[in-house]
Amino acid sequence: MLEKTRFTKQKQVIMGILRQADSPLTPSEIYEQARAQQPSIAKSTVYRNLESMQERGEVVRGILENGESFFAAAGEHAHRHYMICKDCNKMQDLPECPVEKLEKEIAEAGDFLVTDHVVQIYGYCRDCAKKHRPLDT
Amino acid sequence: MLEKTRFTKQKQVIMGILRQADSPLTPSEIYEQARAQQPSIAKSTVYRNLESMQERGEVVRGILENGESFFAAAGEHAHRHYMICKDCNKMQDLPECPVEKLEKEIAEAGDFLVTDHVVQIYGYCRDCAKKHRPLDT
DNA sequence: TTTAGTGCAAATGTTTTGCATCCAG
DNA sequence: CTGGATGCAAAACATTTGCACTAAA
């Protein structure tokens, strides 16, 4: 049973940040941005809100290779299929989900009850690739 | 340039554990198993070896939803396509990679230089599913 | 008023690092 | 011998938790 929630300023700020983001954000990034609007906000408040929002399905949570988590507002980049730049960590949405078919096969095989999946393609975005090795070799 | 490595007992123990594993292992699991063979081994030694082995391509590293990392010996379960049980955390290899085609399309589009990818399907393995909700509904 | 939510600090848990010592080559 | 590797402890991070206090309903 969901307990009743209060629309606190902090929660509004966090949701606002996530909704305006053009890419998922880490708790630290959210915290930094939130402090601009609400200087007294505590990091733990950010974490607690992200957790409860996730339980409510208002945001989606994922995890980066370095162990940091990231969050996106539901309906935005909420499908957890990304291209992630190893350099700047910016995440772009994948144009399609390549797993659905496979998921169906697994369900039919009956040895595993699928609830969810994650697809993350790593590499370098155009900008960061330029800095290192050119995209066009 | 790779610096020359020494075949220490610790490194042998760690590689042995990973090669015998039937599923990727977390550093803590590796450390525990390693202590059985080499009681004086330090956790930091496990981490340092795993890191250097990964750089050499001897092992592959991934990350779980809870932020813990995991490792598998190259050639074993080294492709980073898994079905991960949310209950017991056991990981099974996916029967096929559903991303290759998509990866090729991204490469052709030219906006992202792909180096690597991860596919993780979450859910419950047969045993754990039994404990909660039956696989056959 | 009531109590969910907050801020702050302390506690966790994982991974990293500094350094004196050790041992494989 | 020599310097790469180890063990130990401390430090660095991300995240969680306890608790008194604040503020939304």
- CATH number (domain holding residue B57): 1.10.10.10
CB contact under 8 A, A112 and B65: no
pLDDT at B3 > cutoff 80: no
Reported confidence tier of residue A89, pLDDT bands at 50, 70, 90: confident
Chain D footprint bases within 7 A of protein beta carbons: 4-10, 14-18, 23-25
Specify the number of domains making up chain A.
1
Within 7 Å of a protein beta carbon, the nucleotides of strand C are 4-10, 14-18, 23-25
State whether B83 and A116 contact (CB < 8 Å).
Answer: no
Give the span between the Cα atoms of B124 and B130, in whole angstroms: 9
Separation of CA B41 and C1' D9 in angstroms?
Answer: 15
B67: the nucleotide nearest its CA (via C1') is C14
- Alpha-carbon distance of B63 to A45, in angstroms, equals 26
Question: Is residue B79 one of the residues assigned to a domain?
Answer: yes
Does residue B1 sit within a domain?
A: no
- Domain assignment of residue A13, yes or no: yes
The span from the CA of B35 to the CA of B32, in Å, is: 5
Asked, for residue A109, whether it belongs to a domain, the answer is yes
Residue A66 belongs to a domain: yes
User: Whole-number mean pLDDT of chain A?
Assistant: 90
Domain range for residue A37? 9-132
pLDDT at B133 over 90: no
- Asked if the Cβ–Cβ distance from B102 to A96 is below 8 Å, we say yes
In a domain, B3, yes or no: no
Pick from A67-76, B75-84, B106-115: least confident: B75-84
In this structure, what token pair is assigned to residue A118? 């994650």
Q: What is the pLDDT of residue A114?
A: 92
Contacts for B41-50: CB closer than 8 Å, 24+ residues apart: B41/B10, B41/B13, B45/B10, B46/B10, B46/B14, B49/B10, B49/B11, B49/B14, B50/B14
* Three-state SS annotation for A32-66: HHHHHHCCCCCHHHHHHHHHHHHHCCCEEEEECCC
User: What number is the average pLDDT over the span B32-42?
Assistant: 97
Rounded to whole angstroms, how far apart are CA atoms B12 and A120?
32
